[in-house]
Amino acid sequence: MLITELLPRLEVRLPERGKLDPASLFDTAPRAVWLEIGFGGGEHLAAQAEAHRDLGLIGCEVFENGVARLLGQIARRRLSNIRLFTDDGRRLVEALTAASVERVFILFPDPWPKQRHHKRRILSTGTLDALARIMAEGAELWLATDDGGYFAWMVERVTNHPEFVWLARRPADWRQPPAGWLPTRYEEKAVAAGRVPFYLRARRRGGGAG
């Protein structure tokens, strides 16, 4: 099984002390490292890895079915530039070295729509603080959701954060996916069901620290 044979070779293990340089996880030093938190079935991560074989991509996902689906794609497409973290992505972010990631994807996360559950949302000021530390100057954060309330939540937190600038200049910038976007399976299902996706792209203002 891929879970028992392939995963041990690709799984990221956190250091007992110190920080982890993500570039060191790959056999060949990548041009840059991209991170996807909550990759679902992994189709987006696999497509990005296939389109950018000079990059190193790290995906975080806690659900075994999603991990197994991505492992299947890695094997079929013979992708050598993906590494996996099978726990809460925030633990990995905490462990990474400063200014070591050039792009972060958080695509269609659980919106936790009930107000009493908002504290469970992955996109929070605390998460943005942690991402700002590991993202290089000029690195981009790509967010997407099909929940209008969650999109408003995302916009509020990103625009109020001192280390990020929202790159939208006109409505089309959040109504249409950015250049280079690769669709996700969830996104396609949402559109087929009549739901409207929202896209948010932000840039890290300055270099990471700490």
Active site residues: 110
**How many CB atoms lie under 10 A from the CB of residue 52?**
17
Give the distance, in angstroms, between the CA of residue 149 and the centroid of all CA atoms in the same chain.
Answer: 20
The single residue listed with the structure tokens 């030093």 is 29
Distances 66 to 168, 197, 200 between C-alpha atoms, Å: 31, 22, 24
Bridge partners of residue 198, in order along the sequence: 145
Of 47, 143, 53, give the one whose Cα is nearest residue 103.
143
Tell me the one-letter amino acid at 125: T
Local structure of 14: helix, strand or coil:
coil
